[in-house]
């Protein structure tokens, strides 16, 4: 079914209908077992939602980032977890803008069909953290291919992805005039690389996020898998990172709206001392405050997506969108748990699961402190603090 003519309301309704076929017990089970939601990801792929950003000539729907944001928001709003597949959307910021035509023709049609998954984004390293310019993974060109060595961490969905976007240094940091120069992006075909220089090790965390650390030892990657120009990779991943922050912001808005709806329903139904607890201002006010924070954050997400779709610089807006939405979802989650009292800790209510999931976005994909530092320096022109 073509989705090109759908407006956002129609997209939201269709995604919500699909999500309704995966009851909350499905998500409890995948969380309990730390299992990847393969069936859910397959359903989204077959419906065309995960290829929404891929242009029509490559088999996708050719929609804008605002549509992708609406899709992910509805997934979260349904009580599901879009983190299992959201990278296939935000990596398009790098792929569509910087991959060669040959690379697009090779990979995008298969991604759109579901024959390949592009779910892994290898940037963060154990010693560098959010200081991307300090990464130690290196790529050295040698007779038609690159030899890559290094390590990545928090590379989510690596076990469930066929392709990874990998950032590595092609020029040592001490040899570049600007520390963000000298890094390059590569398309790594992971199934072929496993056991031939690539090792994936799962990391068990407090949420079911399918995250891993990756060890790279003399991995050979064909030179044609270099994305764009050598040494300009940092600029390329920024397009992916801005898209990521906007889309994560949309997910957080979905989480927040799930929490608010859940708390409101419970506050109307739960009776203590002979009346609904929602009749008490001590219960009403936190719900109302969470609602206000969510609606305000949603406007910033919408603005950031509009700027991104217009090709306008949106660094400040994408950072603010992610941070404000993450704070709103955490506020709503805390409120929802408090509204439910002891029942909020029971698995069957789903609050504790969503509470854990939404906490992640206070620290990822970029920490609160780094967002504030960025705005202070680049928007408010205060002295650099790091």
Quote the CA–CA distance of 71 and 120 in Å, as a whole number.
20
Q: Do residues 186 and 146 lie in contact, with contact meaning Cβ atoms separated by under 8 Å?
A: yes
Burial of 196 (0-12, 13-18, 19+ CB in 10 A): exposed
**313-336 per-residue burial string, b: 16 or more CB within 10 A, e: under 16:** ebbbbbbbbbbbbbbbbbbbbbbb
- Of 244, 317, 352, 357, which is the active-site residue? 244
Partners of 187 in the beta sheet?
165
The reply to whether 244 belongs to the active site is yes
User: Measuring CA to CA, which residue among 211, 209, 212, 214 is closest to residue 193?
Assistant: 214
Q: Do residues 60 and 4 lie in contact, with contact meaning Cβ atoms separated by under 8 Å?
A: no
Question: At 132, phi and psi to the nearest 5?
Answer: -60, -30
Mention every residue, 6+ apart, whose C-beta is less than 8 A from residue 129: none
Q: To the nearest 10°, the Cα dihedral for 104, 66, 319, 210?
A: -60
Catalytic (active-site) positions: 244
């Amino acid at each position: 079914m073509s989705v090109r003519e759908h407006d956002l309301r129609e997209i939201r309704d269709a995604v919500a209908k699909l999500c309704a076929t995966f009851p909350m017990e499905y998500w409890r089970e995948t969380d309990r077992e730390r299992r990847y939601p393969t069936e859910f990801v397959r359903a989204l792929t077959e419906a065309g939602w995960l290829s929404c950003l891929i242009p029509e000539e490559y088999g996708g729907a050719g929609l804008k980032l605002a549509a992708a944001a609406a899709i992910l928001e509805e997934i979260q709003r349904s009580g599901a977890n879009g983190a299992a597949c959201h990278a296939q959307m935000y990596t398009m910021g790098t792929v569509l803008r910087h991959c060669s035509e040959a690379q697009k023709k090779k990979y995008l049609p298969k991604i759109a069909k579901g024959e390949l998954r592009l779910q892994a984004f290898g940037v963060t390293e154990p010693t560098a953290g959010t200081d991307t310019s300090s990464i130690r993974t290196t790529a050295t060109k040698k007779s038609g291919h690159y030899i890559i060595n290094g390590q990545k961490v928090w590379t989510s969905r690596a076990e469930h992805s066929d392709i990874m976007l990998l950032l590595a240094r092609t020029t040592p940091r001490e040899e570049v005039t600007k520390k963000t120069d000298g890094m390059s992006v590569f398309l790594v075909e992971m199934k072929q690389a496993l056991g031939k220089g690539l090792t994936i090790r799962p990391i068990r965390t407090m949420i079911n996020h399918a995250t891993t650390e990756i060890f790279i030892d003399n991995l050979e990657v064909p030179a044609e898998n270099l994305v764009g120009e050598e040494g300009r990779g940092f600029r390329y991943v920024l397009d992916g990172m801005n898209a990521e922050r906007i889309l994560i912001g949309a997910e957080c808005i979905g989480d927040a709206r799930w929490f608010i709806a859940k708390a409101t329903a419970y506050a109307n139904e739960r009776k203590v001392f002979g009346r609904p607890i929602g009749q008490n201002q001590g219960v009403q006010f936190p719900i109302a405050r969470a609602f206000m924070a969510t609606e305000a954050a949603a406007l910033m997400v919408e603005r950031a997506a509009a700027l991104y779709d217009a090709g306008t610089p949106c660094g400040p807006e994408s950072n603010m969108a992610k941070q404000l939405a993450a704070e709103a979802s955490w506020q709503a989650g805390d409120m929802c748990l408090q509204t439910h009292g002891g029942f909020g800790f029971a698995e069957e209510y789903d609050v504790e699961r969503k509470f854990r999931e939404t906490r992640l976005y206070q620290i990822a994909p970029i920490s609160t402190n780094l967002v504030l530092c960025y705005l202070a320096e680049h928007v408010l022109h205060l002295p650099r603090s790091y």
